[in-house]
Amino acid sequence: MTTSPSPATPDKTLSRDLASGALALAIAEIAEDAARLILPYWRSDTAVETKSDDSPVTQADRAAEALILERLAALYPGVQTVAEEAVAESGAPAQAEDWFWLIDPLDGTKGFVRGGEAFTVNIALIHAGRPVAGVVTAPATATTWRTDAPGQGAFRRQFGEQQEGEAHSGAEWRPIKVRDRPAEGMALLSHSVTDEEAARLAARHGCTRWQGTDSSLKFCLIAEGRFDAYPRSGPTSEWDTAAGQAVLEAAGGRVLADDGQPLSYGKPRFLNGPFVAMGG
Ligand SMILES: Nc1ncnc2c1ncn2[C@@H]1O[C@H](COP(=O)(O)O)[C@@H](OP(=O)(O)O)[C@H]1O
Ligand SMILES: [Mg+2]
């Protein structure tokens, strides 16, 4: 007698697709579709609401998060999700599971509302507290950065308009990596820090020059070898950093917490303390 195979558990499906690189490609396509959904709201008269933590939220954040959650659930049912807008509405899960998704559908909302280009869609897979796969997409410049199978590097591409009858479209994926630190390192910092603090943070990490940039784009610009460090002294949520950290680590960089260890995930209230993201 033959028995039909039992359905794969989420963990088996996840770990198989993670190991083959199929998962990284799949989440890149989801993030690009979320980006296509966000773009019509950009530089339009989108209504801006203020959340209880005083940060802005728009219809674009909510629509993108709904798309991402629906697509992830269809691909990998039963995996825990921790997503910015869901947490804002219903609170954070009491505890992180062994595998979970961290989702920020629109990071850098303040800049987005002002009509700037530095806002991103972020999806990361966490396993045992580490970001093992991630994608960051910048809708305004139609650029995506992603991991591959673990140990297989990081990639970037420009994505295009979706053509009729075509599942997805985009240019070829090109490998990216961090640069060796030059004598005069360049730091990236949040716009939320004062000039005085920025100069101090940059100098502490061996950088003589610095530039303010919104969103998780900072991790990607280090991952592709254009900048050297992103120090952050104030709090962030785990969904702000997980996808960027996955990409940066895959490109040869590091993201270290104050204790000198890689920034880890599934912490109380999914909150990060200070960290520094670094290239080579
Ligand atoms: N006190 C705080 N606690 C948690 N996250 C914070 C925070 N202050 C700022 N952030 C996060 O920092 C992000 C902006 O980072 P940056 O200044 O580098 O662009 C915001 O993302 P959103 O735009 O998704 O809300 C917000 O989530
Ligand atoms: Mg954010």
Please state the CATH superfamily assignment of the domain spanning residues 10-176 in this structure: Fructose-1,6-Bisphosphatase, subunit A, domain 1 (3.30.540.10)
Pocket test for ligand 1, best of 68, 107, 193 (most atoms within 8 A of CB): 107
Where do the CATH 3.40.190.80 domains begin and end in the chain? 185-278
Cα(203)–Cα(188) distance, integer angstroms: 12
Q: Is the CB of 55 under 6 A from ligand 1?
A: yes
Asked if 253 and 205 count as a contact pair (C-beta separation under 8 A), the reply is no
Q: Ligand 1: does its nearest atom lie under 6 Å from the Cβ of 214?
A: yes
pLDDT at 11: 73
| 32 CB-side CA count, 13 A | 24
What is the per-residue pLDDT across 22-32, written as a single tens digit (0 to 9) for each? 999 999 999 99
pLDDT at 120 over 50: yes
- C-alpha triplet 116, 249, 177: angle, nearest 5°: 75
The boundaries of every CATH 3.30.540.10 domain in the chain are 10-176
Residue 272 CA: nearest ligand 1 atom is 4
Q: Tens digit of pLDDT for each residue in 32-50?
A: 999 999 999 999 988 888 8
Q: What is the pLDDT of residue 2?
A: 44
**248-263: per-residue pLDDT in tens?**
999 999 999 999 999 9
Any idea which architecture 185-278 has in CATH?
3-Layer(aba) Sandwich (3.40)
Task: Kindly give the distance from the C-alpha atom of residue 2 to the centroid of ligand 2, in angstroms, as a whole number.
Answer: 50
Give me the torsion for CA of 59, 64, 67, 70, rounded to 10°: -100
Give 48-61 pLDDT, tens digit per residue. Answer: 888 888 888 889 99
Name the band, by pLDDT with cuts 50, 70 and 90, for residue 163: low
The answer to whether the complex's ipTM is over 0.90 is yes
Q: Is the pLDDT of residue 6 over 60?
A: no
